[in-house]
Amino acid sequence: MESGDDVRCRPAGIGTDVTSNRSDIDWAAIREDFPILEQQVNGHPLVYFDNAASSQRPRQVIDAIARYYRTDHANVHRGVHELSNRATNAYEAARRRTAQFFNASSPEEIVFVRGATEAINLVAASWGRARLKPGDRILLTEMEHHSNLVPWQLLAQETQTEIVWWPITEYGEDLDWSELDRLLTPEVKLLACTHVSNTLGLINPVEKICRRARENGTITLIDGAQSAGHLPVDVQAIGCDFFAFSGHKMCGPTGIGGLYGRRQILEPMPPWHGGGEMIDEVNFTGATYKPPPYRFEAGTPNVAGAVGLHAAMDYLDAIGRENIFEHDRELTEYACGKIEEFGNLRLFGPRQGRGAVLSFLLNDVHAHDLVSYVDSRGVALRGGHHCTQPLMQKLGVTATARASFYFYNRREEIDILLDALQRARRLFGDRPA
């Protein structure tokens, strides 16, 4: 199934052509594509505001995976029978679709992995071990998710390299750009940063960051877990060397994601897993390996996941990623406006131009208590450090509550959240922040 070939992946409320006018989109009809949202939780209609952790899947993606298992499943690349050919064609079609989705220069620049975490670990284990030496430096921002932090800590310990930190401003509204010239020295061999912060909602100007790094001769990795499927992503325009993403945060299944790697960087990288499929020839004394991306995909891959990811990308592009971004921006601005009227509520991150993520504290109510209470009203939030413990230390808190939105969410659900927060404030007492 190539892009646009199967109308079964088209959202409800979308015609045969991709719409360029957001006002023509029937967002209510699109929401009906998500069967999980039709239920009640604790006697209340479900309000799902935990999309930064994992989005929901439309029935079109669920059906695509079911069709694959019903009619086409076999192992890929190794057989000559019809089902193996079908499965191989579906898997490689998903790779071509992913390259198109992110505007990679070729499908060979796309490596399928379990998600962004595994993609980053792949780069650390393969590129990092081969390239870094004592005295080199890795530059990270203070807002990084643990997935874009712990792999580099492990690598730094192994290679005796140093991690340096690009600070954020006091309230988490931006990176401290006055520090970049001091930090980006010739010793910095890798700069890794998030595209959209999963805690602050800050959208980093990754094109600018990658340009500055390239001028310094520094390799760049962008963690796109919160941007893929939420806004247009063009890896060639960004100018990054690596881009990591997860399918389950962009309406695809869990257990599938990808690493974009610029061909000139991928080709000399050694394998990081050994096994079947990634080899060219094996004998009793050694082995030779296939070229990328197959060199990095040992063993039986998640074929059904790739099929579901393909369907999800078709679904998202039928709506239009710019339309999705603008819908979520308006929803987030509406939520920010309501929260600013709320009182005794501390909001983290920028006030404008942010992704669809709101982290906040209500008075001195612990985030876990707050999230547990609003769950009793049917509202799903996330409470905790959001896998950004160093960021929490910088902000002077231990945890926050987080609401995160996607295109199937509605303004009325923001109002339900605010009503639940009002009730929580009365329950826990109107204590000063």
Positions marked catalytic:
387
Distance CA 96, CA 17 (A): 21
CA angle 313/314/317 to nearest 5° reads 80
DSSP for 301-356, please give it.
Answer: --HHHHHHHHHHHHHHHHH-HHHHHHHHHHHHHHHHHHHHTT-SEEEES-SSS--S
Instruction: Give Rg (Cα) of the chain.
Output: 22
Distance CA 19, CA 60 (A): 19
Distance CA 196, CA 223 (A): 8
Q: Strand pairing partners for 162?
A: 137
Q: Strand pairing partners for 282?
A: 287
Please report, to the nearest 10 degrees, the dihedral formed by the alpha carbons of residues 106, 109, 110, 111 taken in order: 150
Distance CA 47, CA 249 (A): 17
CB–CB of 387/225 below 8 Å?
Answer: no
Number of C-alpha atoms within 13 angstroms, CB side, residue 226?
29
Give SS3 for 402: strand
Calculate the CA 208 to chain-centre distance.
20
CA angle 346/335/115 to nearest 5° reads 90
Nearest one of 223, 242, 239 to 128, comparing CA atoms: 242
What are the tokens at 45?
């209609």
Omega prior to 205 cis, within 30 of 0:
no
10, 236, 312, 335 from 243: Cα distances, Å:
27, 10, 19, 30
What are the tokens at 305?
């996941």
192, 194, 197 from 142: Cα distances, Å:
11, 10, 10
